[in-house]
Structure 1
């Protein structure tokens, strides 16, 4: 599975929910390639970088 510019617009709750949904449809040997914005210098776990346009650029800290 390849997801381009999908998770970059999700908050952490939606990110996890989508992974759980996709897992139902993936074969046991399936692999997933996706991108997301990681910034470990954020003041909190999740920051919506463009407040006027919600989830345009959603950044998370690595967990």
Structure 2
């Protein structure tokens, strides 16, 4: 277990004098498409609606509707 020199401790955070993150190397990388799909899935679960916007006119119309 690492020991840290605690500068300040509060109920929701702790400040330490120095922190060295553990170096980890990923063996697999996620593609940009997989990242986007996962992000869209997570937002959909939170109640956001996915709109397929294919041109600038549709984008502007959606922006106007949201405002």
Q: TM-score range by the shorter chain?
A: under 0.3
Q: TM-score, normalised by structure 1?
A: 0.27
Q: Over alpha carbons, which structure has the higher Rg? A: 2
Say which structure is richer in strand. Answer: 1
Higher relative contact order (CA 8 A, sep 6+): 1
Say which structure is richer in helix. Answer: 2
Q: TM-score, normalised by structure 2?
A: 0.25
